[in-house]
Structure 1
């Protein structure tokens, strides 16, 4: 008995575990020890995880940069960099950097284009959809985008008429969500979800793992939001992913992010499954994303499985719906809030489109300078993808940024929100909405403006997103006047930087 004091032994084991978990990452990563950052971030990913869970990662990282400078350690092996010259180095072609294990949090059924970390797999997957999203191919989908916008006009005309000459109140966020879902649903699955027509966030879904499961309905917008909170949090501590389903949501653990997020992920998968199963049962001759995916072959010449079809289709739906809606809403808000900007945009649209009463052709608006300015400034000021997308230096490589040498396996990222709001880059009015700044960008500002990411892993649907955004903004501001009923846009952050509502009034001009 004298040799074993079990309470002391137990305490020693706990101390040893703490030392291994917290101290070892610090001592074993000598090249990063001189990089400044939050104290806890030197030892563990918990600091970054907590910021993500609170919906304030982009704010916390920005505050860290304001305190520590352009190079900040935000996790034991993760360094955040604010430097326009580093964009091409970290995200560009030919650098060999790979996506970090952050992206494993997004994998449910199979890795899709967004979550695939292997470069060869990503190249193969991207080839399937790259032609579909080319500038030429995107124009073929213009009629489908215009059809959804026409459904929006019918709804808003009714609201405006009912207001009897006054401004009709709307939550612009809801309408942006519905329009974005319908546009990408039409492109990906051959038909819109019907959200704009029905003023509803409901979509059909079924168990993605069981093609014989019954069809039911779910709130698709809510599911995407909860999925985003889960993936952003788990991405910071990926070791929790295997345990997430065992973390209960009850009185002992009042934070329901894991259970709600996992259910939401299944719901999003199920929305894709319902549409894929419908197409498999009733093939179509229409050229859309699902057609391309069904024609694609894997490295062995075999067609994609049902789960692969669902994963790849959902990659585009999630990206096309979530990013577009959460970008479009702030753009509308900032224009509506500023009477001078709105008047100037009205003047440009009236001059170019004359008495047009409806949705213009994309060719009529795609080169309008002030329209582009208000869109780009909205993308800069809000920054939908606000966090830094993590890239890992591959084995056998290294790089130097801002005089710091980083060895293999180091994770680097550039926080877009901080880059888009840095007064050293954008000037003392960096926090202000001023579309005219895009008339005379400096070389540094051009490098720093990065709303669609950069390089081989940049947004594959950029052409579609730009066309859809320009068409919506041009159409509604040609047709309506807006009043803004809130001073600021209240936001939160899951994977994306999201508005929580947008109270406006509309009236036919």
Structure 2
């Protein structure tokens, strides 16, 4: 019967004028593809928006709207632990699947959302870095080389360099406070975190704090990159026709490379011309223990995993990904403290009491903050819980042969993932999840705390856990208590909601504060 139907269709097409026949074939092809998408084996019975099962355009339009994280929360509350958000995409909400999908023994691999879209181009070659690589060997070997620079021991040894950024931030804010005008504290959090990354990477601030503005327009550039990634990442096959086109320059991502190279050249004191394959002379860079120095030493040892292209790519990744995520957390912290002044007062009292007891240096050390300021640690954790930095699923391919997720068999090659916003807003794990409640991290039972920690997904998990997480914690733990020791802070417009937009990272604007110097 099906063969006869096919013959009938072909005969009908053959009798039509050529343009009409071609148009009919295109329509039949599109309809057939849409139906194939909708009724894919293993996915046809997974609930979700009807349109999402037919075409990836539903997902693209949702991402373009800038609130996909909120969409995912609503969908999981409506449909359960598995939601089909695309013809080949399934969003997962059960935190018990985090270790299964992302754990150290997982066979799930990263998708085209990461590489080549989020990688950089070096001398015509698309070069992955630790975050974007889909090659497990490259990831393993590169991580071995990079881990030391990101270890707590190395970072604490460089704590005085972070203190320089803290002190400069406080100095600048004191000047602004004396003017009596509202301060966009959100922008200053970006300036602070970028200059810290400059110190750690190059022993040199980028100049954000000193100038009080976006240096070389790099913040604006990175925002454009994120917007491109979030949208093109939904249809990654289009990248080769857009910024991935070898006939194009590589677009905004190469501006990040140029920004990193500028810092390298300034540190070396001359034009190294790395773009042309130039070498960094051993005498050009003073050994200060920063990441450039450490990685350059590995480069000079002849490691194939730290060739010049890898050295530059890792430094560019620091600029691109090492600052925004922390500034997002800091904006969340000050916004929610401003919305909950009782929490602000409780934190300030803890800081003042610890200082009065002689438990805090000036500036505060990370060890002191971690030991003597438990409520501060709870505030930081809750700020990241209520507003995670990433707002899309961390995509992974299901291994060949398929696998079982949440009791359902999912075919190999299916893209699955967990959105941290979904696990962080699970009411079965976090009571009253919309509330900013730092006390939940201090007053919960051992079993409740275990479930919350299992669901906390701000830094991803497993071997792909964010390598810069220790930097983020040190930056926040040192700066926040110093700022609140020096200034009284309150939202200028406490009844006004901030604005957020999900462009892979969920960026915020509107954290405007009145700052008054404390006596």
Q: TM-score, normalised by structure 2?
A: 0.86
Q: Which runs of 5+ in 1 are unaligned?
A: 203-217, 248-258
Aligned residue runs from structure 1 range 105-120, under 5 A: 105-109=117-121, 110-120=127-137
Whole-angstrom distance in 2 between the partners of 1:41 and 1:60: 13
Whole-angstrom distance in 2 between the partners of 1:374 and 1:173: 17
Whole-angstrom distance in 1 between the partners of 2:50 and 2:28: 20
Aligned to 1:184: 197
Aligned to 1:137: 154
CA distance 1:361–1:300, change in 2 (3 Å): closer
- Please list the CA deviations of residues 156-196 of structure 1 after superposition, one character each: whole Å capped at 9, or x if unmatched: 11122333xxxx41001110010010000111122110111
**Which residue of the other structure, out of 268, 273, 293, is the alignment partner of 2:261?**
273
Aligned residue runs from structure 1 range 104-503, under 5 A: 104=115, 105-109=117-121, 110-163=127-180, 168-202=181-215, 218-245=216-243, 263-278=251-266, 279=268, 280=280, 282-296=284-298, 301-302=303-304, 304-354=306-356, 358-367=362-371, 368-396=373-401, 398-427=402-431, 429-441=432-444, 442=448, 443-486=450-493, 487-503=496-512
Whole-angstrom distance in 1 between the partners of 2:23 and 2:301: 53
Whole-angstrom distance in 1 between the partners of 2:112 and 2:179: 52
How big is the shift at 1:237? 0.5
How big is the shift at 1:92? 0.7
SS class of match (2:150): coil
Whole-angstrom distance in 2 between the partners of 1:305 and 1:357: 42
Aligned to 1:208: none
* RMSD (CA atoms): 2.4
Select between 353-362 and 90-99 the one with higher mean Cα deviation: 353-362
Whole-angstrom distance in 2 between the partners of 1:20 and 1:469: 53
How big is the shift at 1:467? 0.7
Q: Check the 8 A contact 1:227/1:262 in 2, yes or no.
A: no
- Please list the CA deviations of residues 8-61 of structure 1 after superposition, one character each: whole Å capped at 9, or x if unmatched: 21221221331354233334x301111011112212222112222221221222
- Please list the CA deviations of residues 77-99 of structure 1 after superposition, one character each: whole Å capped at 9, or x if unmatched: 21111112111111111111111
How big is the shift at 1:438? 0.9
**Which residue of the other structure, out of 494, 500, 513, is the alignment partner of 1:504?**
513
Select between 57-66 and 408-417 the one with higher mean Cα deviation: 57-66
Select between 3-12 and 410-419 the one with higher mean Cα deviation: 3-12
SS class of match (2:409): strand
Whole-angstrom distance in 1 between the partners of 2:264 and 2:370: 33
Whole-angstrom distance in 2 between the partners of 1:3 and 1:421: 59
Q: Check the 8 A contact 1:176/1:325 in 2, yes or no.
A: yes
CA distance 1:296–1:72, change in 2 (3 Å): same
- Please list the CA deviations of residues 252-308 of structure 1 after superposition, one character each: whole Å capped at 9, or x if unmatched: xxxxxxx9x964323222212222344437322121111222233599844744432
Aligned residue runs from structure 1 range 68-107, under 5 A: 68-104=79-115, 105-107=117-119
SS class of match (1:492): strand
User: Number of matched residues?
Assistant: 475
How big is the shift at 1:234? 1.2
How big is the shift at 1:246? 10
Aligned to 2:6: none
Aligned to 1:210: none
How big is the shift at 1:107? 1.7
Larger-Rg structure: 2
How big is the shift at 1:493? 1.0
Q: TM-score, normalised by structure 1?
A: 0.88
How big is the shift at 1:357? 8.5
Q: Check the 8 A contact 1:150/1:358 in 2, yes or no.
A: no
Q: Which runs of 5+ in 2 are unaligned?
A: 1-12, 122-126, 269-279
How big is the shift at 1:128? 1.6
Whole-angstrom distance in 2 between the partners of 1:246 and 1:99: 18
Whole-angstrom distance in 1 between the partners of 2:363 and 2:14: 87
Whole-angstrom distance in 2 between the partners of 1:403 and 1:245: 40
